[in-house]
Amino acid sequence: MLYRRKTTDLDAAEWLDEASEEENDPLRAADRKADRRWDEEEEELAFYSKRFGLPHEKEHRARRPPRNERQRFEEHRAEVETVAEVAGLESVWDTTYTPTRYEGGFLRESLQPFYSQDQIVDVNALVKGGKEANVYRCRAHTSLGLEWIAAKVYRPRKFRNLRNDAIYREGRHLLTSEDGRPKSVNPRDLRVARAVGKKSLFGVEVRHTSWLMYEYTALQTLHSAGVPVPEPYGVGENAILMAYIGDAGRAAPTLHEVSLEAEEASIVFEQVLESIAVMLENGLVHGDLSAYNILYWRGEMTFIDFPQVVNAHSNYSARSILYRDIARVCRYFARYGIRADASRAAAELWQRHAAPDPDDLAADLSLLEREVDLEEENDEKW
């Protein structure tokens, strides 16, 4: 349902005043129309900012300059309150880890909801830095029953510049965050669709939130299905809280950082293929699987990094993406003497776990034929 401003008797009276002014004072009438349009746009922006949980309204558009002394005073007071709030947040976040000047701002802001909800109490170390996100080891709140927990914090500006992502977005519905939980955006909300299509600041923010929420929902689905992925604990506007793999000394290394024994490598390879199969059974393909996105810790492997996960049934490129994932995995394990035909393995996994069931297709065809017959019968009656 589109958001509309209600028309009142006062609006009608103002319209009559504008019509009168347009005849007597066109310049003043134009100013009033511009002011009214500005106010309506501000209302609309506030509505969507609240609905989608967008934290930085001031980033979406420049504020109008103050007209008088009172407005200047009000804006100055708001700035003072903002500075005081940030200062208070910095004093709360007297963390063990010392972030860089640029990093400190988005780190505190992204993790603040988890601190407020008693999920984390400290940030101890940066364990992984990337072009899209950083991963931090945090001390978990006692209520979680954990010592350590991982926070994956996205860099908003860098993240929005992610290119060549259309292939992964195919078949996805937009997701937003509501009270810390993913929620689908109504596909009939044309205003949101236009904003996303035009890549306006609001549209970019919606796409960014949707991208992050897909990683979180994928972790939820796969962890429940028994796939070895970090257990998700919470999600915010710019970060995901999940199980930490490693200890206080170091985070779990990725496969490309370790050296395996031949027998060990064979076992891990089979585990990787089995996990890919379970993912397919749940309708998902990793999208960026390689030895760089598989952790190995104390004899167990864990899949990580799921923002590019694709739906095996609604994404037309899912099969080719699956082949690419398996080809990368096979190339890595070839160093241990494991010879596997990536194309054949991908085809077998797809056919077994993702290809449409012929019986289901036959049932759908039968139902479609029945509907056509009913339509023809109705046509004959009329």
Please check whether residues 237 and 301 belong to one and the same domain: no
Tens-place pLDDT, residues 161-178: 555 677 777 766 666 666
Please check whether residues 261 and 327 belong to one and the same domain: yes
Element spanning 235, H or E = strand 232-235
For residue 284, the cross-strand partners are 311
In a domain, 25, yes or no: no
- 309, 284 contact by CB (below 8 A): yes
Read off the pTM: 0.67
Structure-block tokens of residue 296: 């190995």
Residue 185 pLDDT greater than 80, yes or no: no
- 52, 183 contact by CB (below 8 A): no
Look at residues 109, 62, 64, 52 and name the one whose alpha carbon lies nearest to residue 82. Answer: 109
In a domain, 209, yes or no: yes
In a domain, 20, yes or no: no
Please check whether residues 200 and 288 belong to one and the same domain: no
Please check whether residues 153 and 127 belong to one and the same domain: yes
Residue 28 pLDDT greater than 80, yes or no: no
Tens-place pLDDT, residues 258-312: 999 999 999 999 999 999 999 999 999 999 999 999 999 999 999 999 989 999 9
The model's confidence at residue 334, banded by pLDDT at 50, 70 and 90, is very high
Positive/negative CA dihedral, 96, 101, 107, 109 = positive
Positive/negative CA dihedral, 133, 137, 139, 145 = positive
Structure-block tokens of residue 30: 């134009």
Please check whether residues 215 and 273 belong to one and the same domain: no
Neighbour tally for 156: CB within 10 Å: 18
Residue 25 C-alpha from the chain's centroid: 51
- 137, 148 contact by CB (below 8 A): yes
The whole-chain average pLDDT of the chain stands at: 76
Look at residues 133, 242, 156, 152 and name the one whose alpha carbon lies nearest to residue 207. Answer: 156
Please check whether residues 238 and 306 belong to one and the same domain: no
Give the residue numbers spanning the domain of 175: 50-57+90-248
C-alpha–C-alpha distance, residues 59 and 51, integer Å: 17
Please check whether residues 133 and 229 belong to one and the same domain: yes
Please check whether residues 237 and 267 belong to one and the same domain: no
Residue 12 pLDDT greater than 90, yes or no: no
Q: Which residue has the tokens 């401003």?
A: 5
Q: Which residue has the tokens 């259309």?
A: 166
C-alpha–C-alpha distance, residues 97 and 69, integer Å: 43
Tens-place pLDDT, residues 124-147: 999 998 778 899 999 999 999 999
20-24, 95-99, 190-194, 246-250: range with highest mean pLDDT: 246-250
Please check whether residues 244 and 259 belong to one and the same domain: no
What CATH number does residue 161 fall under? 3.30.200.20
In a domain, 382, yes or no: no
Please check whether residues 155 and 221 belong to one and the same domain: yes
Query: Among residues of the chain, what percentage have pLDDT more than 70?
Result: 56
In a domain, 340, yes or no: yes
Please list, in sequence order, all residues whose beta carbon lies within 8 angstroms of the beta carbon of residue 194, skipping any fewer than 6 positions away.
203
Please check whether residues 213 and 317 belong to one and the same domain: no
pLDDT confidence of residue 1? 40
Name the more confident of 375 and 45.
45
- 241, 232 contact by CB (below 8 A): yes
Q: In sequence order, what E strands does 304-374 have?
A: 310-311
In a domain, 63, yes or no: no
C-alpha–C-alpha distance, residues 162 and 170, integer Å: 15
Please check whether residues 114 and 239 belong to one and the same domain: yes
Find the DSSP H helices in 162-317. Answer: 166-169, 190-198, 201-225, 262-281
Structure-block tokens of residue 114: 């988890």
In a domain, 68, yes or no: no
Task: Give the Å distances, CA to CA, from 160 to 45, 60, 155, 164.
Answer: 20, 14, 8, 12
